[in-house]
Structure 1
Amino acid sequence: MKKSERINQILRFINQKQHFTLQDLMQEFQISKRTALRDVSSLEEIGVPLYAEYGRYGGYRILNQMKLPPISFNTQEIIALYFAMQALGSYSNLPFQVSYRTIHEKFINELSESQKQEIARMQNRVSFQNAVQIEECKHLEILLMAAVQNIVLKIVYKNISRTIHPIAIYVLKEYWYCQAYDMDKMAYRVFRCDRISSAEITNIQPLEELKEITKLNSHSLWKPSENAVKFKWLINEEGIELFQKEHYPSMKMINELEKTYLIGTYEQNELGFIIKYLAKLGNTVKIIEPIILKESLRQYYKDLLENIE
């Protein structure tokens, strides 16, 4: 990192802390004590109001909070930001209805000619083969804001009215999902956002425990119903790679006697989903239980063969 760039970052770092030590600078910026001392001298030379405190708990203190210069990015950071935007390009619906094309144009217009040329050269060497978002989601903004502000919503999902408290939204396999607490069923559920045809704010108060729920891992919120079917499948190394690319809160890997298994549950109305997931894994898995799942999978392949014939 160039010294001028490091000094700029140190300015932001110490302005936020107000009190700091040489050790803080050494750890944060991976520099030696000698370099940290030179950087402090450079800060004083450019007029940063520093006051040295001596003793066991000494260090440096900023006398007055400073007005910082605008944030600047080096070429590597600009390229990283550009390709991060490229990776989102296939998702037409983003929270707050932000237009990707507008952001892209503003970003490019702010670059210098040399930076534009650098990105143009990179475009010919890097590409993102993203799958295109399949369905339009009209209510991402209200779902996200409800999750952030602990607001209960009345939604229409697959033509059925539901009362939910959104917890988080995420994108998976070309679809947006909303994880929420279903106030009617008193259970955690995941809703596909494109299937939500309307969403309205209510005056219903969320459960008190839901206000702190965002501190938990999202997978920890999922719980099977009493009628859920347990499964256990033997999986090989190729299957493990497929599982790591696509899996759901209702399933996990375990090791037993030097063998790897997928275990979990599925709801009775999710049989079609679990069969299609099994078909994706192909011969990388072997069904241990339930036995009835084997027959369902055989019937699935028979139907496919009939369609081919």
Structure 2
Amino acid sequence: MNRTDRLYALVEELRAVAPRPRSARWLADRFEVSVRTVERDISALQQSGTPVYAEAGRTGGYCLDKAHTLPPVNFTAAEAVAMALALHRLEGTPFHGPASTALRKLIVAMPAADAAAARALAGRIRLVGGGPATTVPRVIADALEVRRVLRIHYGDRGGAATVREIEPLAFLGTPTSWYLVAYCRLRRSVRAFRTDRIASVTVTAEVPPPRALQPDDLDVPDHAVRSLALT
């Protein structure tokens, strides 16, 4: 179990038994880690705003304040990623810290499978700078979630139009444009398609084969590309 999944599982364990406490030793045995690791994880949760507190005494341990937590919420992966993108735009403002804490609370309150899907989707979005404010048609925006081969009419920078079948892999946001990164069957390689040059889209019934996203697939010269944070 990676650390992100363990933090979520810790909160769910404490939520299930609240207001009763769980000792650090019990939690360490439960998640097969050291007591020190549990203490570090609890500290990270507290710093993120999760209402976990320590109860002293022989039968004490860590407790979760149920009155200050959210019940499981039914956000979709795309909705969680949308909030992460909105949070990204708050960087450098006085509200970035509180918004980041709010997002972490919502992620913790999501069912485990939905939270995992949101993290997987966020892992396929890369940003250069603040990302653009341009509008992307819904059928293109849903490409990573739908997981179908798309047939597009695409105009290149010279104005030449082609029909392509593509397998969506990721989104790349630059300061001026959004790009859909996809395996192009016409060119037999991974290409970045500027979304405002996609004239039309048809969603086919074909599910594309799994393809790993390579670092070179998102190479943007002279710019630092970073993943979207969903924490």
Task: Please indicate, yes or no, whether the TM-score normalized by the shorter chain is above 0.5.
Answer: no
Q: Which has the higher helix share?
A: 1
* TM band (smaller chain): 0.3 to 0.5
Computing the radius of gyration from Cα coordinates, the structure with the larger value is 1
Query: TM-score, normalization: structure 2?
Result: 0.44
